[in-house]
Structure 1
Amino acid sequence: MPSTVRAAVVESGGAPFTLSDVVLDDPAPHEAVVRLVAAGLCHTDLGVAGGGLPFPLPGVLGHEGAGIVEAVGPAVRGVVPGDHVVLSFTSCGGCRNCRQGHPAYCATWLERNLLGGRRADGTSTLSRDGESLGGHFFGQSSFAERALVDERSLVRVDPDVPLASIAPLGCGVQTGVGAVWNVLAPAAGSTVVVLGAGAVGLSAVMAAALSPATTIIAVDRVAARLELAEELGATHTVDAGRAAFAEAVAEITGGRGADGVVETTGNTAVLRQGVDALAARGTLVVVGAPPFGSEVALDVNGLLGGKRVVGLTLGDSETQTFVPALVELVKDGRLPLHRLIGTYPFTQIDRAVRDMTEGRVVKPVLLF
């Protein structure tokens, strides 16, 4: 039978999150009911809530959930009630990219995760007063006490690891880590530059510190973020408000430039400078998303030295293997994710949004 749960609803673009009772549909064959324990708050949630993407509102967002499975549909095979799970993005499982181990580039990724607001068959997972709500966000909509979660969004994890400590793995952390491990794959002695020291950027710094890279340069305008980057493994920091970072990178590397750059800011001017800061055969990974339609001019002749610019979604991760590995690193203390997290009761989601927007916390995690 459908159940009533408390959820944070965004009524329209630009409206705040407001707590409301909503009705959760029965699980479809490939869905599970998950009782949320924690959920990370991500800039993507804020972008959609602000009306920046055509997700159907009113709706329930949230895509970094972590919780405990309560019930499963008849076709679910990967989890059972009682399992601890981290929730991530969903995918079809059958297209070429999914079959080749790249589900973040699923042929139907946008409609299944970011824009559709419904299951792939068009049915709704959430309603209120008999009217459908936008839901199924990243196959989960985890800003609610319970969520109907697509089977391919579920990742079973070690029950000994507190769920509040690993909720951000579902999106922001795996994006930053995957940018370094799955795309840059630093060689011994290489230089990695991370542009922006938010949750994604600091995750990239931690990943680089676990790689053979020997020079790790974090770039930001906020002194406290740069100090944290150093504590998490950056060997150098650059205050972009005081120095041109491309020149600083050239000085640090003896004029050679960066082997890898992770661009997390979504600022096209910063992206251009990052490409200019690359060494021959260097790679820049585009992670930050500017408004739709944004373009950037590049020096074409400057690319002929073998430079590459690669776009990235969710770390190009295969979640069923990647997320448990990250959980193990958190458990062992080698991925000190707790340094980024500030926790808030779910009822204080607006305070969490405010603190994140004003830079008082790197990664807010809501507790249920």
Structure 2
Amino acid sequence: MSAATATSGATGTTQATAAVVRERGGPFRLEDVRLAPLRPDEVLVRIVAAGICHTDISAANGVIPFPLPAVLGHEGAGVVEQVGERVTRAAVGDRVLLTFTSCGTCTGCRSGHPAYCLDHLRLNLLGGSRADGSATIHDGGGADLAAHFFGQSSFATRVLADERGLVVLPADTTDAELATMAPLGCGLQTGAGAVLNELRPRPGAVLAVTGAGAVGLAGVMAARMTPAATVIAVDRVASRLALARELGADVVVDTTDTPVADALHDLTGGCGVDLALETTGSTAVLEALVGSLAVGGQCAVVGAPPAGARAAFDVNRLLPGRVVRGVTLGDSEPQTFLPELVRAHRAGRFPFDRLLRTYPFAEIERAVADAASGRVVKPVLTFEDR
């Protein structure tokens, strides 16, 4: 074991390298850090790959009020190196995906909907620490860093992860597959889950997806796994619309010159769409999409606008069975849902690898810039064994 990854016998702490953001809008800089001692319900994971999500960028830029300085990252994949004494889900050597965490005891968790945990925001998005307020990562000078992002903070060579956010992969999973599977922990799970767990297209249904980023394209691919008759992808970036068509969209709509509502009205003969998935976070797009629902239609909202944003709907149009539903993380129960997505990918039915571009961990700044600009649909950081 190299000095960079050695565990201190005296303190039980582990050395690692992490990408630290120290000020709002500041760069991700690689620093030597120290992980806190492993808790009984935690797992030490060597990270092999980590997807970059716009939620990470929003937290770094202060759009999400996560405390700084911080270690972010919430789409990790890696190999288990140590397990706490109460851990039952994983063993040393297991290859795992890291996803969101939850309390495990509230109504949402106990009913199979951990994404709707009553303590979701504090445990995943806002706290920066364990539930008891203790830090999981310290910088080289011993100061606490905000971390535990989605119960992991996977922009680091090693992480302390909550057992509840851990999904064990098949034993034959390779490091190359880990680099592919990492984004399942958030964005792809969100888009696919919104379609498969919430909208559940019936035979003949018309489904519109607004936004052809990673979440929207996951929704398009998931829809092709259902009896939906027509899948419509809506965006204003030609290359993403071309990719959406390759991944299963029957129709694509470029909103550069055509308003969303007008296009959906014409495509459905004025009847409206049966199902809709809104991923852009634009309230104007959401209003147009809800106004384009057919009688009895449903719209799943996963795109998050700035805090306090409001959208307006004609209430009387909602009365004939139209539904607008917010969805977090695809309303997924990760222990069962993510393995299904892995199986679908291996069978060629969920080819999300088409969205990915890999970057060495040291090039995280370039990867973040490519994600923020939309140049790359889903950047994935890869880590050497260090």
Shorter-chain TM-score range: over 0.9
**C-alpha separation between the residues in 1 aligned to 2:348 and 2:155?**
28
Per the alignment, residue 49 of structure 1 pairs with 60
Aligned counterparts, 1:106-145, within 5 A:
106-128=117-139, 129-145=141-157
One-letter amino acid of the counterpart of residue 366, structure 2 = R
One-letter amino acid of the counterpart of residue 172, structure 2 = D
Per the alignment, residue 148 of structure 1 pairs with 160
Name which of 83, 102, 115 aligns with 1:104: 115
Q: What are the ranges of 5 or more consecutive residues in structure 1 without an aligned counterpart?
A: none
Given that 2:50 and 2:183 are in contact with CA atoms closer than 8 Å, whether structure 1 keeps it comes out as yes
**C-alpha separation between the residues in 2 aligned to 1:43 and 1:358?**
11
- What SS class does the counterpart of residue 52 from structure 1 fall into? coil
Shift of 1:140: 0.3
Per the alignment, residue 102 of structure 2 pairs with 91
Aligned counterparts, 1:284-295, within 5 A:
284-295=299-310
Given that 1:261 and 1:278 are in contact with CA atoms closer than 8 Å, whether structure 2 keeps it comes out as yes
Shift of 1:254: 2.1
One-letter amino acid of the counterpart of residue 249, structure 1 = L
Name which of 208, 211, 216 aligns with 2:223: 208
**C-alpha separation between the residues in 2 aligned to 1:17 and 1:290?**
24
Given that 2:113 and 2:332 are in contact with CA atoms closer than 8 Å, whether structure 1 keeps it comes out as yes
**C-alpha separation between the residues in 1 aligned to 2:314 and 2:88?**
50
Per the alignment, residue 77 of structure 1 pairs with 88
Per the alignment, residue 254 of structure 2 pairs with 239
Of 294-303 and 59-68, more deviation after overlay is shown by 294-303
With normalisation by structure 2, the TM-score equals: 0.94
**C-alpha separation between the residues in 2 aligned to 1:214 and 1:165?**
29
Name which of 1, 14, 30 aligns with 1:3: 14
One-letter amino acid of the counterpart of residue 114, structure 1 = L
Name which of 264, 273, 276 aligns with 2:288: 273
**C-alpha separation between the residues in 1 aligned to 2:134 and 2:108?**
25
- What SS class does the counterpart of residue 189 from structure 2 fall into? helix
**C-alpha separation between the residues in 2 aligned to 1:237 and 1:290?**
24
One-letter amino acid of the counterpart of residue 262, structure 2 = E
Q: What are the ranges of 5 or more consecutive residues in structure 2 without an aligned counterpart?
A: 1-11
Matched, 1:160 2:175: no
Given that 1:158 and 1:327 are in contact with CA atoms closer than 8 Å, whether structure 2 keeps it comes out as no
4+ residue stretches of structure 1 with deviation over 2 A?
Answer: none
Deviations 1:221-241 (A, max 9, x none): 000000000000000000011
**C-alpha separation between the residues in 1 aligned to 2:38 and 2:60?**
26
Given that 2:260 and 2:285 are in contact with CA atoms closer than 8 Å, whether structure 1 keeps it comes out as no
**C-alpha separation between the residues in 1 aligned to 2:155 and 2:364?**
9
Shift of 1:122: 1.3
- What SS class does the counterpart of residue 89 from structure 2 fall into? coil
Number of aligned residue pairs: 368
Of 302-311 and 244-253, more deviation after overlay is shown by 244-253
CA RMSD of aligned residues (A): 0.8
Deviations 1:255-311 (A, max 9, x none): 211111100000000000000110001011111000110111111111122111000
Per the alignment, residue 18 of structure 1 pairs with 29
One-letter amino acid of the counterpart of residue 312, structure 2 = A
**C-alpha separation between the residues in 1 aligned to 2:269 and 2:321?**
19
Per the alignment, residue 6 of structure 2 pairs with none
Per the alignment, residue 317 of structure 2 pairs with 302
**C-alpha separation between the residues in 2 aligned to 1:47 and 1:366?**
18
Given that 2:57 and 2:372 are in contact with CA atoms closer than 8 Å, whether structure 1 keeps it comes out as no
Deviations 1:320-354 (A, max 9, x none): 00001111111111110110000000000000011
- What SS class does the counterpart of residue 166 from structure 1 fall into? helix
- What SS class does the counterpart of residue 231 from structure 2 fall into? strand
Per the alignment, residue 195 of structure 1 pairs with 210
**C-alpha separation between the residues in 1 aligned to 2:345 and 2:17?**
30
- What SS class does the counterpart of residue 102 from structure 2 fall into? coil
Given that 1:192 and 1:261 are in contact with CA atoms closer than 8 Å, whether structure 2 keeps it comes out as yes
**C-alpha separation between the residues in 1 aligned to 2:228 and 2:371?**
30
**C-alpha separation between the residues in 1 aligned to 2:65 and 2:369?**
23
Of 3-12 and 252-261, more deviation after overlay is shown by 252-261
Per the alignment, residue 71 of structure 2 pairs with 60
One-letter amino acid of the counterpart of residue 300, structure 2 = V
**C-alpha separation between the residues in 2 aligned to 1:213 and 1:310?**
19
Shift of 1:67: 0.3
**C-alpha separation between the residues in 1 aligned to 2:256 and 2:138?**
47
Shift of 1:49: 0.2
- What SS class does the counterpart of residue 132 from structure 2 fall into? coil
Per the alignment, residue 335 of structure 1 pairs with 350
